[in-house]
Amino acid sequence: MSESHLGSKATFSLPRHLVGFDLRRLPSYRCDVLVVGSGVGGASAALAAAESRDVVVLAKDKLELTATAWAQGGIAAVWSDEDSLDAHIADTLTVGGGLCDPAAVRAVVSGGRGAIEQLLSWGARFDASGGGLELSREGGHSHARVIHALGDRTGREVQRVLKERLLAHPRITCFESVQAVDVLTDESGAAQGVIAWSQQHGWIAFLAESTILATGGGGQIYRETTNPPSATGDGLAMALRAGAVVRDPELVQFHPTLLYIAGAARALISEIVRGAGARLVDRDGVRFLERDLPDGELSPRDVVSRAIFRRMVATRDTSVYLDLSGLPGDVREQFPGIARVCGYFDIDIRKDPIPVRPGAHYMVGGVKVDLLGRTSVARLYACGEVASTGLHGANRLGSNSLLEGLVLGSAAGRHAAEQVLGRPIAARERASGPRIWPGDERVEFHLDDMLYSLKSLMWRNVGIEREPELMQEACQRLAFWARYFFRTPVEPARAVEVANVLTAAALVAHGAMEREESRGVHARSDFAQLAPEPYHVEMQARVDAAAGAMSGEDASILGLAIQRVPPAVPLAAPLRRTL
């Protein structure tokens, strides 16, 4: 579609709520603390809050079907005498590219041993060797400090333990197959729970004094991704619509090695394989990383991803190849999950090179929070991948994410519980949803087609290496799609996900345009160097309050306020410049 058809504006507009509702006519469930999400961050928050308060956990699917369960990598924690907290902190800061918050880094790294000990006490089964935990080294780490379970199934083991604890706790009630749609707020703008769609019961209001978003990331905005289908940026979009500040959404980490078989769903080939000695080669068997990067296969993920991307372009191939043939022992026993997936495609990982290419893996940016998980919206918290805590900076050090979820998820849960004072819950009783298309004409809407087009657009225009013209095109096209998508009635489940994917994609694209430098995971062709001083890109919804007052309904969100903010600026800092 030409620019003339898209229009020259890239202003992104959306409604405050995705659906209209009247709380007086909806069934409601009340609790002290509401947690949206059951992965490592959400489960840790719920268990911590339940030490003193009644907690409800909402799971979009089954409790165990989370991005955490998909995590093949491990948990980074200082465990051996040869390692130190200072070394882990230094590695995190180095990979973070000048945007880490040192206080956040120290807080999370210092909590590593305690988090592992807690999981062990709950029955976690981590790989052991010589009477102690087996430790491996991954890209960006100066020491072997990554703890695994069953080789490449750490996330699944962590999720198993946390699910068992959630279900056994007398103060925690879990609801599965419930899609949180929007954050409910009172007249002051403070969070009061969420409105949600239940596959079994329809619309329900979950009301709470403290609300914690732990919904994971938004990898599904890209065609190539390691994320599960549920990773549709729900918490990011919900927080934006509720008025929270979003920080550095453009910082998306691409994992270097996804199994690439045309037509098949992508599968992550964990970094643990390269840590064990696997080599990346091109179709001619050339080990190109050894020539281009000092640390070869153990270089940080953003560097490896870009090197693979460039090699694919240079060789005109659809992938590069991961060679495990030189590893000692039976690699099928060391990496059973990878062996199983590859075996389905008749790839014997003992001798056959695995075709791999990069894919979207982790949202480094997210909802801006402090070390207690507080967002800029009163009584709204965020933890896990949906949150921007300052730990990761401009690039996540591998295996720090499960650690962050354990440590800062618990911190958010404890503080959220402390804020429960028995206050009456007074959420706004009514809200308007998206405007209906004017007149009698209805536009037939193909959600699958929009989602495929969006994912392809983001992969092509706002991917591993970014060019200004392509990013601008993405912003314009996303704004165009939003204008007509949000004029139509939004039905439950799938359309809500598409709305959130569209919103998350716009945040990433606009953030990428604003960050005029190459830093960490963000690489621009026109700004190849670092900016003279580091800065964060912060965004907030720009609300048309006057229109809401005139109509007696919710205000519309007419655009994004955006500005560059120096590191360590507190949550309350106002955003001025608008798009």
- Asked whether 300 and 374 are in contact (CB, 8 A), the reply is no
pLDDT in tens, 41-61: 999 999 999 999 999 999 999
pLDDT at 492 over 80: no
pLDDT at 54: 97
Q: What's the average model confidence in pLDDT over 77-87?
A: 95
Mean pLDDT of 559-573: 78
Tell me, rounded to whole angstroms, the distance of Cα 265 from its chain centroid. 19
Confidence check: pLDDT of 576 > 60: no
Instruction: Return the pLDDT at 438.
Output: 42
Give 551's pLDDT tier (boundaries 50, 70, 90): very low
Predicted pLDDT at 185: 93
Asked whether residue 548 carries a pLDDT value surpassing 50, the answer given is no
Reported confidence tier of residue 554, pLDDT bands at 50, 70, 90:
low
pLDDT value, residue 83: 95
Q: Is 301 a catalytic residue?
A: yes
**pLDDT of 129:** 83
User: Could you name the CATH architecture of 1-73+153-251+364-579?
Assistant: 3-Layer(bba) Sandwich (3.50)
pLDDT tens figures, 257-289: 999 988 777 788 877 788 788 999 999 999 988
Query: How sure is the predictor about 558, in pLDDT bands with cuts at 50, 70 and 90?
Result: low
Instruction: Name the residue ranges covered by the structural domains of the chain.
Output: 1-73+153-251+364-579, 255-360
What is the amino acid identity at position 231?
A
Residue of 301, 357, 524, 542 with catalytic role: 301
Pick the CATH number of 255-360 from 3.30.310.50, 3.90.1150.10, 3.50.50.60, 3.90.700.10: 3.90.700.10
Q: What is the mean pLDDT of residues 422-430?
A: 81
Mean pLDDT, rounded, for 307-332 = 90
- Helix (H) / strand (E) element for 498: namely helix 494-514
The whole-angstrom separation of Cα 403 and Cα 59 is 21
Task: Indicate whether 69 pLDDT > 90.
Answer: no
Contact between residue 62 and residue 85 where contact means Cβ atoms under 8 Å apart: no
pLDDT given at position 556: 61
Higher-confidence residue: 570 or 256? 256
Give the confidence band of 178 by pLDDT, cuts at 50, 70, 90: very high
What is the structure's pLDDT at 4?
33
579/223: higher pLDDT: 223
What's the confidence (pLDDT) of residue 417?
97
Is the pLDDT score of 550 beyond 60? Answer: no
Q: How far is residue 396 from each of residues 67, 76, 99, 320, measured CA to CA in Å?
A: 16, 12, 11, 23
pLDDT mean over 70-97: 92
Contact 266, 72 (CB under 8 A): no
Q: Whole-angstrom Cα distance, residue 309 to residue 324?
A: 21
Residue 242 near residue 183, CB atoms below 8 Å: yes
